[in-house]
Chains A and B, each alone.
Chain A
Amino acid sequence: MARIDLDLAHSYKPNPAQDSDYALLPLKMTFEDGGAYALLGPSGCGKTTMLNIMSGLLVPSQGTVRFDGQDMTRATPQQRNIAQVFQFPVIYDTMTVAQNLAFPLKNRKVPEATIRQRVGQIAEMLEMSHQLDQRAAGLSADQKQKISLGRGLVRPDVSAVLFDEPLTVIDPHLKWQLRRKLKQIHHELKLTLIYVTHDQVEALTFADQVVVMTRGKVVQMGTPDALFERPAHTFVGHFIGSPGMNLLEAQAGGGALHIGALSVPAPRALPEGALRLGIRPEYLALTEPGRDGALPGSVRQVQDIGTYFLVTLDVAGQTLKARLSPEAERPAVGAAVGLQVLGSHTCFYKNEELVA
């Protein structure tokens, strides 16, 4: 296992001049030994480029990749001692489940007894012990992908295991079981795991640290809780959560905060000028109109989402969403309401970056 340090940038163009020429903008980050990480972002954000640079499939156009301090920028995947799991099963159909799981160990001339012990352990974890002697050919796509996961995890001495959207082919009902398995396995084996996905559930459930990316840029690396409570960038606020964070145009100056028609004393030290106020729908509270410090708005739509009410509000030409518990008072469509946008969960952004 290894600690991985990246200090690099990548462009598929020969002479990158502007930000948009980069698949990965200059970045510096560390993946700690034994951590569970997810790279999360929409398609085209650079997450697969980053994974390929770590695995050695791609050499960055500038900078270095270090494993435990050692320069590995130009090392092959074999030299880096990396295991990989892809979107689709990569296994040998003619071999049994046990032979498939043993293959990466056999290749490395691991003693037979150790192989047997390790294959048994991994099969147990993935609940495939009863299938060890079956041929892979007859198994379902889910089962085959489980073997792929097992092959990725079977070697105890790897620097890291890289996963590229590994649950794509898995039936939705089985997904949560495999997520649980991966989490348990990480707990028990303490391998460094790096997981690429565009799916927030997958990333937030799997990883201790989630790296959120957009347009070739890492905008935040943090715990699921931090991404929800204190998004470092407006993109994170928007991308994490459904619906995402509400963002309201605001102005700060002279110790006051102005949002549309509302002026209140600044609740915290804020930089002067144009800001965006961020508040999640879960934290946006409705009160009667005219209440002190409440932003005046009107109710456009009230949806019964079963487990909660989703209220769409018009506020000073902007749209906000509030999520109300089924026990809360339900406002009428068209009603004037007051919105409590300031509280301990409120975030402030300047040039898309969190400032307060």
Chain B
Amino acid sequence: MQLTLSGISQRVGAQTWLYDMSLAPTPGAVTVLLGATQAGKTTLMRLMAGLDVPSSGSVLVDGHDVTGTPVRERNVAMVYQQFINYPSMTVYDNIASPLKLGGRPKAEIDRRVRELAAKLHIEVFLDRLPAELSGGQQQRVALARALAKNAPLMLLDEPLVNLDYKLREELREELCALFAAGDATVIYATTEPSEALLLGGWTAVMDAGELLQYGPTAEVFHRPVSLRVAKAFSDPPMNLLAAEVAEGGARLNHGELIAVDLPREATRALTLGIRASALRVQPRPGDVALPGRVELAEISGSDTFVHVHTAVGELVAQLTGVHEFDLGAALTLHVSPTQVYAFDATGALLVAPQRRT
């Protein structure tokens, strides 16, 4: 199904919630809407669903204008942050409800409910009420019901945000497999860059009501068109350093020269960006050294994020595995100039690190 948003905007009273934007999510694939809270993700999804009508522009489904068509006349499945189920119905009836509305034969409904319940590992709960299940199980029921609808457009608004991280990890992986197996166009809103990367597919980066960039997820991550995209699509935040164009590269305000290959037309004032994962504790030939002191080592379980206070500013380095550092200990971070991003004075991307292909 080809969904097309053409020149849409959304104003509520004197406020603009969505600025003029056009977006045609890739049919049959997952498109991630990535942005902080208040970026406009939910507002955009409500327009896609037909829950709201845009202030301007049009919404097209396979070329047909559906801008004013209400949600119940569209074929859309939705899953929300909150676990929304029919509280008085059993899990079985919850999953079966869209199929019953569709007037399917009983045997087919039964087969489909059991198939979906098995896929989402809730087959043993079919006779229970949603309130008797854990949060993770309740959200599985809501997901199964959305999938039962077999709608060509599926909208998921931060569906895993209220679950423990291990459950989130498990369910995200299952969802990816389900999306890949189906042919629905899936729109998935999240505030987490890492979740966008794990979902893969395509990503639309949003910030303060604006659509900043749309493209294949890894491509957007590796080549953000602007500083704003780079900021929105990095966790921990990309390290940003003020610099000036100099002979042979860019010079940091503290004097270090970083040999980035800048285009001729580059503005004098620059911002250099270094992803946390590009900073290393062990130097390699050609690296720039940034000495400092450890502020804190945050340990995620698979990575350690070391916050280091240096002369050029606060830096965060991402190290694989668990590493313990004493607060205040001296630590020098190293970066290869080939791993540095450069943005011009307007925030437009000038240089992105070369990637191995």
Contacts and interface: CB of A to CB of B under 8 A. Distances in A.
Interface stretch (B57-65, B115-123, B241-249, B318-326): B318-326
B301 A184 contact: no
Interface in A224-243: 224-225, 227-229, 238-243
B222 interface: yes
25 contacts: A42-B166, A42-B167, A176-B298, A179-B298, A180-B307, A183-B327, A199-B165, A224-B299, A225-B323, A228-B301, A238-B166, A242-B301, A282-B321, A303-B198, A304-B218, A305-B194, A306-B193, A306-B194, A306-B197, A306-B218, A307-B277, A307-B318, A308-B320, A326-B277, A326-B356
A69 B289 CA distance: 52
B200 A176 contact: no
B322 A307 contact: no
Nearest to A329: B356
Contacts of A306: 193-194, 197, 218, 221-222, 277
Contact of B299 (A187, A205, A305): A205
Given A180-B307, A242-B165, A201 B198 contact: no
Interface in B167-207: 167, 169, 193-194, 197-198, 200
A148 interface: no
Interface string A38-74: 0000110000000000000000000000000000000
A250 interface: no
Contacts of B166: 42, 238-239, 244
Contacts of B72: none
B80 to A, nearest CB: 20
Contact of A282 (B167, B200, B302): B302
Is chain B's interface secondary structure helix, strand, loop, or mixed overall?
Answer: mixed
Q: Which 3 A-B pairs have the closest CB atoms?
A: A307-B277, A204-B299, A228-B322
B293 interface: no
Interface in B153-169: 164-167, 169
Contacts of A227: 322
B296 A176 contact: yes
Interface string B295-309: 111111110000100
A287 interface: no
Interface of A: 42-43, 176, 179-180, 183-184, 187, 198-201, 204-205, 223-225, 227-229, 238-244, 280-282, 303-308, 310, 323, 325-327, 330
Contacts, number: 97
A242 B324 contact: no
Contacts of A204: 299-301, 322
B334 interface: no
B69 to A, nearest CB: 37
B185 to A, nearest CB: 21
Contacts of B218: 304, 306
A241 B321 CA distance: 9
Given A176-B298, A180-B295, A183-B327, A242 B164 contact: no
A165 B318 CA distance: 25
B169 to A, nearest CB: 6
B145 interface: no
A43 B164 contact: yes
A302 to B, nearest CB: 10
Contacts of A307: 275-277, 318
Contacts of B194: 305-306
Contact of B327 (A184, A199, A223, A280): A184
Contacts of A327: 356
Nearest to A238: B166
B254 interface: no
B355 interface: yes
B302 A183 contact: no
A303 B296 contact: no
Contacts of A199: 165
A224 B301 CA distance: 8
B300 A305 contact: no
Contact of B301 (A43, A201, A325, A326): A201
Given A307-B275, A327-B356, A205 B298 contact: yes
A81 to B, nearest CB: 28
Contacts of B198: 303, 305, 310
B327 A187 contact: yes
A228 B307 CA distance: 20
A205 B222 contact: no
A183 B296 contact: yes
Nearest to B217: A304
Nearest to A223: B324
B43 to A, nearest CB: 21
